[in-house]
């Protein structure tokens, strides 16, 4: 939609081809339905949130910084607000306001939306000349001078992101960096995760270390235990820093009481043990940990649940203390790509002009968004990349065809 709007504003004749019945379907689910539009920060800070190929976005983000995106939507009648971590949301907390703003701007610009599925891009003398739509005997062709592929990656296929653009780009001679999940829940071999399914821990600190014991991520926030392992905001953010599951081994360590250092926590533990000297440990620990976590803590510390508080040894207390400050969860890998918020990998960026988003291999072929091998951490950065590359592709395509016609897929 951003690419179509940008091209139409430049005076190009544009048609947007959308395989879903409605445009913007994936926007409905972003930011838990609230749509984290962008991040209120500088272009440099956006690039710093891109773990790989951030330099490719230099020109694009200078041309379309977060400030431009905020002004764009507010000019379309969507008031915005800035929340924790500089995350920008519509003031209404409704993603539909963002979708409607884009849709009505398309209508104002008289950009028709065709509900069909693009099955291929046709070339003549090595350059784009048409798109093919439909399947089997229902195939039809639409002549055009430029095509912008903005089909997304492989995440959330129910929204239409099924990788169509990736295989089309590959068919046209582009190198595809193998897509893999990013911003994705993590699987764990530890059986206690399933026992604590549904337990949400708030205000904890998650530290992720690689096989060499180097910290690759550390942040405070919320996480969730599931039947397969770990999920929640902290875990999704952490997964983007875990870039090499095939060659590396990662471990998650949770500080359950980050507000207390070890001496302060030990003093708190001693107070609880003294006050409840005659209580069983599985009963007493309820004052310090959620109900589902208590039996797991005692099991990990090798303390019987029916042991009286006054019988707890110094060594057992020490083990409990260490678990509160460093509860370790092994990680076996990420969940499948269709459960990821975004896809890492895609069209190799060295084969794309960073200013116009046009293919260096096929004249008239442009790319935008998650289709490119660029992904970022959570916080509105991935949508910022989508808006910036979409605008660059739209303007680039319009300039390329001059007064011609651009068809968008």
Q: What's the first-to-final CA gap in the chain, in angstroms?
A: 10
The strand pairing partners of 14, in sequence order, are 406
Secondary structure percentages of the chain, helix, strand, coil, to 5: 40, 25, 35
For 45, 50, 149, 274, 341, the CA distances from 54, given in Å and listed in that order, are 10, 5, 21, 55, 19
Spatial strand order in the sheet of 127-133:
118-124, 127-133, 140-143
Q: List the pLDDT tens digit at each of the 409 positions of the chain.
A: 999 999 999 999 999 999 888 898 888 878 778 999 999 999 999 999 998 899 999 999 999 999 999 999 999 999 999 998 999 999 999 999 999 999 999 999 999 999 999 999 999 999 999 999 987 666 678 999 999 999 988 776 666 677 899 999 999 999 999 988 888 999 999 999 999 999 999 999 999 999 999 999 999 999 999 999 999 989 998 998 998 888 899 999 999 999 999 999 999 999 999 999 999 999 999 999 999 999 999 999 999 999 999 999 999 999 999 999 999 999 999 998 888 888 889 999 999 999 999 999 999 999 999 999 999 988 999 999 999 999 999 999 999 997 544 444 4
**Tokens found for residue 164:** 């169509």
Domains of the chain: 2-182+339-408 (3.50.50.60), 185-334 (1.10.8.50)
- Give SS3 for 297: helix
């Amino acid at each position: 939609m951003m690419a179509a709007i940008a091209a139409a504003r430049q005076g190009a004749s544009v048609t947007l081809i959308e395989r879903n019945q409605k445009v913007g379907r994936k926007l409905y689910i972003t930011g838990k339905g609230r749509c984290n539009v962008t991040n209120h920060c500088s272009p440099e800070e956006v690039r710093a949130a891109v773990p790989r190929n951030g330099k490719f976005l230099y020109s694009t983000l200078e041309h379309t910084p977060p400030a431009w995106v905020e002004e764009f939507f507010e000019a379309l009648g969507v008031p915005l607000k800035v929340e924790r971590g500089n995350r920008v949301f519509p003031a209404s907390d409704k993603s539909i306001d963002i979708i409607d703003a884009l849709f009505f701007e398309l209508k104002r610009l008289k950009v028709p939306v065709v509900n069909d599925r693009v099955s291929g891009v046709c070339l003549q003398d090595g350059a784009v000349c048409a798109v093919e739509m439909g399947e089997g005997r229902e195939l039809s062709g639409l002549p055009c001078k430029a095509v912008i592929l903005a089909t997304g990656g492989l995440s959330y296929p129910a929204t239409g992101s099924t990788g169509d653009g990736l295989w089309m780009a590959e068919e046209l001679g582009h190198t595809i960096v193998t897509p893999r999940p990013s911003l994705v829940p993590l699987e764990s071999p530890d059986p206690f995760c399933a026992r604590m399914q549904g337990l949400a821990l708030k205000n904890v600190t998650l530290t992720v270390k690689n096989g060499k014991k180097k910290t690759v991520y550390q942040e405070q926030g919320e996480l969730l235990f599931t039947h397969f392992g770990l999920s929640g905001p902290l875990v999704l953010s952490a997964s983007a820093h875990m870039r090499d599951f095939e060659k590396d081994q990662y471990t998650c360590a949770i500080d359950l009481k980050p507000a207390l250092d070890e001496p302060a926590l030990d003093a708190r533990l001693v107070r609880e043990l003294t006050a409840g000297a005659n209580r069983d440990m599985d009963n007493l620990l309820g004052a310090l940990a959620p109900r589902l976590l208590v039996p797991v803590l005692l099991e990990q510390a090798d303390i019987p649940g029916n042991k009286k508080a006054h019988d707890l040894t110094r060594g057992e207390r020490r083990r409990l203390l260490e678990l509160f400050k460093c509860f370790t969860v092994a990680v076996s890998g990420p969940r499948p790509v269709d459960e990821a918020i975004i896809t890492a990998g895609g069209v190799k960026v060295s084969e794309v002009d960073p200013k116009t988003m046009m293919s260096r291999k096929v004249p008239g072929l442009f790319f935008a968004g998650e289709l490119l091998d660029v992904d970022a951490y959570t916080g509105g950065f991935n949508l910022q990349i989508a808006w910036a590359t979409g605008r660059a592709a739209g303007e680039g395509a319009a300039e390329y065809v001059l007064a011609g016609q651009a068809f968008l897929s």
